[in-house]
Amino acid sequence: MEKRQFDIRKLGVETKGKIMADLDIGSLVTHAVRKGEGELSRRGTLVIKTREDHPKYGHGRHTGRSPQDRFFVDHEEIHDNIDWQIVDSKSKQAINQPIKPEVALRLCKQVTKYLSAQPELYLQHRLVCADRMYGFPLYFLTESPAYALFANNLFRDLPVTTKDIPNKPISVLFAPGFKLEDPQKYGVHSDGFAIIDCLNQMIFAGGLRYCGEAKKAVFGLLNYLLPFMDVFPMHCGANKGEDGAVALFFGLSGTGKTSLSADPHRKLIGDDEHGWSPYGVFNFEGGCYAKLIRLDRVKERDIWSAVRKFGALAENVVVNEEGGLDLQDASITENTRAAYPCKYIDNVSFTGVGEHPKVIFFLTADASGVLPPISRLTAEQAMYHFLSGYTSKLAGTEVGIKEPVPTFSPCFGLPFMPLKLLTYAELLGKRLRDHGTRVYLVNTGWTEGPFGKGHRINIVHSREMIAAAIRGELEHAQTERHEDLGLEMITSCSGIPDPIMLRPWKTWGNVAEYRDRSRELAIHFANNFKQNFPNAPAEIANAGPRLQGSPDR
């Protein structure tokens, strides 16, 4: 069956304007510049500004995700599937906020009315999930060519023949120019919102400019749908070597997931979102969404090159007087971003699929400077740390975050997990048992002290440790048990010039301060797990940090 243009009237959009379907990158860039949505750098990157200084909703709005503005439609048929009890540890607000179907319908009609009135609409026919057995056609409709370019760059090409894609399509209405006049009337918190309708496989968003809102709404929907298909959805990067051996990189924004998975010596499968099925792993998207602030041309050369190719989309990056991208300038936001197709990376897997992973890395940007650079985890410890999801939120990844904030984000992606969290942990455990995959906890955060005193671990050293683990060198490497945290620290690794850094307390000027911080972090782990997973199996609960004793100094 040949691909046909999606009938937008099925979404309630009745327009007399032009519908621009599947414009290529050059045309989308041209339309965006013509409409004044952005400017071209001298290399051809389209640079847009998403920031809005709103008198009511705050300075710097739309430069990061707005979790308080996302809702799931609370259909009776699926009510019991969604975990409505999960709360953000900082705001104490529900992660999966419900909205009544009738209210969601009224909001949807507001968005469709707005889109229907636009003189031009942009429609992108895309695909999510590289394994077509689990794939979903994606219809992305917006009034903005810049956001259509984002969809073109981030999601996969929809093949002309879709007969081998058995699943119902996902529809996305993204209206960044829409403004809701009376938010309280609809029970939402601001003039912008993103609504995820899992039952009807539809997303509609109005008044939100940050491109990550669209990306993560699709991810949240897939995280609902795929477990029912025996697929473990993962917030991770993935790559594979010449021998086909796959490595996965779990971690929240700012932990190095994109940078470390983009290895010039390995083929990139994808940088952020994947599924692990009974047959192997596959990428959800066809592009990358990389953080740019202070990107290093030498250490992260693949990303550096990709964001300068024609048609890459950069958000909130300052363009200097010569027309170049100034990646050191954070005057708009720390959360500068770029969206580009995976093909802009030199060494990429165009299929987006791979074998069952040989090794998994849990990346955490520990701002306390306590966690060892790399530790080998047992299966039970892997389950524990997956459910804990410890890291530090970094500046700019969410509205209002100005400096690192310690946080626990179960599954390394709590804001995007609508089902009961143990559902995802059980899928991880099943895959680990079936395939004997080795798991490592890697600290990409601070060393020689906490944030403000120490410094960020050199990404070159992180790459050396990861490469050694992928080669299998660390499976039987010498380890030392960290008695506070219960971790088997790797204490020697090729490529690390000074093994002292692998024992973190030896890098601190004040060992007593390290011990205090270490015990404090262990208590945080224990309290978090006890509070959120009181019914977890004992073998998992007992795999966490232990408070007795101290590291052998």
Catalytic residue list: 65, 216, 235, 253, 257-258, 272, 337
Helix (H), strand (E) at residue 213: helix 212-225
Helices (H), 472-552: 511-532, 538-541
Tokens of 443: 């600290």
Q: Give the Å distances, CA to CA, from 169 to 15, 205, 242.
A: 22, 17, 34
Residue carrying the six token digits 């709590």 = 414
Residue carrying the six token digits 């997990």 = 417
Q: Please give the full DSSP string across 275-302, using - where no structure is assigned.
A: EEETTEEEES-SEEEEE-TT--TTTTHH
Distance, CA of 511 to CA of 553 (rounded, Å) = 9
Distance, CA of 307 to CA of 150 (rounded, Å) = 13
Tokens of 68: 């308080």
Q: Are 388 and 279 in contact (CB under 8 A)?
A: no
What is the DSSP code (8-state) at residue 94?
A: B
Length of the chain: 553
3-state secondary structure of 398: strand
Question: 61 - beta bridge partners?
Answer: 52
Distance, CA of 427 to CA of 209 (rounded, Å) = 34
3-state secondary structure of 247: strand
Q: Closest Cα partner for 127 from 139, 143, 114?
A: 139
Q: Closest Cα partner for 550 from 480, 490, 491, 493?
A: 480
Backbone angles phi and psi of 39, in degrees to 5: -130, 155
Distance, CA of 133 to CA of 164 (rounded, Å) = 7
